[in-house]
Amino acid sequence: MESHSLSLFRRSRSSAGFTFTGEFERESDVVNPEDQLLASQESFPDYSGIRYQLYRSGGLSLQEVSPDSRILFPSARGDKLAYIKREDPYRYLMVARIRADGQLQDERVILSADLHGILTNSVLSPDASLVIGIYRQNGTGHPVLMGCSTPWNSGINTGTNVRNTKVEGTKSQIGDCRVLVSAPGQIVQPSFSDDGVLFSSDRTGRYELYRLNRTSPGPWSSLLLQEEVSVEQLSESATGLFYPVSEGTQIFALRYFADGYDVVSLDRQDLLNRDVSVSFDNTDTSRPMSDFQLPSRLSGSEDYNGPLEIRPYFAGFLFGISAAESGVLAYDPLQRHQIGLGIGILDETPYFSATYSYNRFSHSLNLSYARSSLTKRKFYCDVPRGLLVFLCLADTYQFEYAEASIDRQNAGREVDQEYSVGLRHEKHRNSGSLASLVFPERDVNLSSLFAGYGISNAISFPESISLERGFSLYGEAGFYPQSWVILYDDYSKRKETAEFYSVEAQAELFLPFFFDHHVPYLAANARWTSGKNPEVYRVRLSSYMRGLIPEASPYGRGALVLTAEYRFPLFWLSRRLISWWPSLGLRYISLAPFYDYGQSFERKVYRDTWNRSYGFYTDIGLNIFYFPLAIRLIYARGEGPAGETSYGFGLLLGAEASSQGMSRDPFARSLQRDYRALNRHSQSNGHHSF
């Protein structure tokens, strides 16, 4: 598809459907296309619960329709409208006319369900003589596809079962309602086509597309007179198809894959068209079901052991610190368990890593471990002379990292929250060559208790190159008890212990702008170490600022860095690069100039010790063999004694990596943070960003 969508308006709340009213007569002049859009969006005027309000767009403005009602799933044909109206504890299938001023008139109740039932997905037929919806009368049973005649029916009296409910303050006219189709499974997302009603059903265990055939000519309300059910299965896919929509010779639907949904097109002449009428009925299967108790252990049953899904990953970057890691992540079918194994190199130090995560609802248990050879520095390598130099050539930095934490992601109405609490253990050997941290001794063991908390409210769209229109705040504190910090002397013997704590915080703002997907970005990063022995743990300023030489970078107990960026897309293709290679696609290329302003300090922040750096970076989003690939190229120029002109390259491929160098370099940390954040928001919104 060459064209792209244009947002007429946006809200950060969830959606409950939209519709175009089409042209209708009114006293004023011709209606602009923007004046014909009706959309139901979630709103919280009184913060009392989820409330879906119907909006009507007029140019750049929004106009509430029936502001005292909760309206979902609007479906319009000209000035005729069908929708679901919520008045707890009931749901009503309603029809009405929408006036030229955007207000509803002649509201009529067609069908109702109480709080335990289901009434959703209202759709009005092309001639407005029939309204259909998904209906379940009681608290048990499978929902059915229900059809009801409307007041605009052409005089056809079906003589079928009548379900009538009166809503106070509205005119009530009873519509004839009948079950059009039911099945021993879910029936969802109906829509009208030229020759019947399309819907999706999991009758076979996977959602596929079906069509209820229209066997007689005349108005659409004649479907209520059909005695026999004629249903054809239209698709047979590996991942499932949802939300069918007919347009000309094509049927469009959503296809599920690991990280979201794709829009697919099916040509009518290539449809399966398999007659499956015997598997469907037109009886009400939403009637109450008999009580059922699951036995404590089914005879002959075994625990489910599904195959693991294996996903490779690679993370590499070259900037202040050079690192690369490659490995695989394995998931169980429910993605509750995640196991990762990888090997990598940090500067000149090779290492291996292992991770495990257990996810249960919004909580997760995370374990990680990474280690190099961890050979202690030889005592004669402190100041090697003569031939000893050759014996100390392999005296490089070595490390061990271990972490156990319990995390919680809590998506809220106003803000998203995240919590983290856990244990962290570090061992550093020959740390004199370490470019990010500064210790008083070369060999150090550190263990700590830590807790973190963050809140955020930012959004992303299918064509976003960054989070947009929101903020993110995160803070983490760690305590290093006396017996958990050990410093060794030059002979690798225990020397002394220490105690301190550290606090780290980050604030981000994603500001709105005049152009779509252009994001002015402001951030502040701060760190502070205090306690009995704060001199044990110092961080170089190059860990937070770009464009500084790590070895010459100032360091201290604290650091404060302010960042300003302007992120914008150069262009968005979202299509394959080579016609005969469908698995290679370019999503976007973006550019972001930046300016960093920060300093490190011991006790106070001084006006004359600030450091500056500036530059720009470009992000490239690709799909290679259906793996998301993020590439970042960076140019940075720092001022002052530690400043330098530097170039960087970073790459993230496939599943999310856990490279150890990511937390030690500002360029790499930013790349991974943006990658994770955009993917997380896109998945929650049903999009796929890379």
Q: Which residues contact 304 (CB under 8 A, 6 or more apart)?
A: none
For residues 271 and 351, membership in a common domain is answered with no
Instruction: Give the pLDDT score at 180.
Output: 92
Residue 346 sits in a domain of what CATH number? 2.40.160
- The amino acid that residue 485 corresponds to is V
Task: Report helix, strand or coil for 376.
Answer: coil
Q: Which pTM was predicted?
A: 0.60
- Kindly indicate the confidence band of residue 671, based on its pLDDT and cuts at 50, 70 and 90: low
Residues 264 and 341 in one domain: no
Question: What pLDDT band is residue 41 in, cutting at 50, 70 and 90?
Answer: low
Ranking 66-75, 292-301, 431-440, 624-633 by mean pLDDT, the lowest is 292-301
Q: How confident is the model at residue 233 (pLDDT cuts 50, 70, 90)?
A: very high
CA distance 355 to 561: 31
- 420 and 407 in contact (C-beta within 8 Å)? yes
Q: How confident is the model at residue 501 (pLDDT cuts 50, 70, 90)?
A: very high
pLDDT tens digits, one per residue of 426-467: 988 877 777 777 888 878 899 999 999 999 998 887 778 888
Does any domain span residue 97? yes
pLDDT of residue 403: 92
Residue 384: pLDDT over 60: no
Among the candidates 219, 248, 279, a domain finishes at: 279
Which tokens go with 641? Answer: 């004694």
Cα-to-chain-centroid distance, residue 310: 21
pLDDT on residue 598: 92
In whole numbers, what is the pLDDT of the chain averaged over residues?
A: 77
299 in a structural domain: no
Q: What is the pLDDT of residue 91?
A: 87
Specify whether the CB–CB gap between 684 and 411 falls below 8 A: yes
Q: Which among 540, 542, 545, 544 is positioned nearest to 555, based on CA atoms?
A: 540
Mark whether 271 and 331 lie in a shared domain: no
| Same domain, residue pair 68 and 122 | yes
Please indicate, yes or no, whether residues 599 and 487 belong to a single structural domain of this protein.
yes
The 10s digit of each residue's pLDDT in 189-225 is 999 998 899 999 988 888 899 999 988 878 898 888 8
Q: Say if 228 falls within a structural domain.
A: yes
Task: Say whether both 186 and 49 belong to one domain.
Answer: yes
In a domain? residue 107: yes
For residue 633, give both structure tokens: 């190229």
289 domain residue, yes or no: no
Q: Are residues 251 and 350 in the same domain?
A: no
- For the chain, report the end-to-end CA distance as a whole number of angstroms: 18
- Name residue 196's beta-bridge partners: 193, 213
pLDDT, tens digit (0-9, with 9 covering 90-100), for 118-162: 888 899 999 999 999 999 887 777 889 999 999 887 655 544 444
Same domain, residue pair 275 and 156:
yes
Domain assignment present for residue 4? The answer is no
What pLDDT does residue 33 have?
Answer: 42
The answer to whether residues 555 and 653 belong to one domain is: yes
Residues 203 and 350 in one domain: no
Q: Which residues 6+ apart lie within 8 Å of 680 measured at CB?
A: none
Q: Considering only CA atoms, which of 191, 193, 171, 161 is closest in space to residue 75?
A: 191
Q: Is the pLDDT of residue 404 over 90?
A: yes
Cα–Cα distance measured from residue 445 to residue 253, given in angstroms and rounded to the nearest whole number? 56
Residue 618 — pLDDT band, cuts 50, 70, 90? very high
User: Could you report the per-residue pLDDT of 624-667, keeping only the tens digit for each?
Assistant: 776 778 888 999 999 888 888 888 888 888 765 455 544 555 65
Is 296 part of a structural domain of the chain? no
pLDDT of residue 124: 92
Domain termination residue (choose one: 279, 301, 317)? 279
Q: What angle do CA 409, 413, 415 make, to 5 degrees?
A: 55
Is 26's pLDDT higher than 50?
no
pLDDT of 441: 82
Please check whether residue 32 lies inside any domain of the structure: yes
Q: What's the structural domain count of the chain?
A: 2
Same domain as 664, residue 582: yes
pLDDT at 159: 46
| Of 172-176, 239-243, 621-625, minimum mean pLDDT range | 172-176
Q: Choose the final residue of a domain: 279, 296, 315.
A: 279
Domain with residue 81: its CATH number is: 2.120.10.30
Q: Which domain holds residue 484?
A: 325-684
Beta carbons of 638 and 548 less than 8 angstroms apart: yes
DSSP type of residue 684: H
Q: Read off the pLDDT of residues 535-544 as tens digits, 9 standing for 90 and up.
A: 888 888 888 8
Same domain (yes/no): 480, 587: yes
pLDDT exceeds cutoff 50 at 684: no
Segment 155-171 mean pLDDT:
41
Q: What are 325-350's pLDDT values in tens digits?
A: 888 888 887 778 889 898 988 877 88
CA separation (Å) from 628 to 340, 401, 676, 679? 18, 28, 12, 10
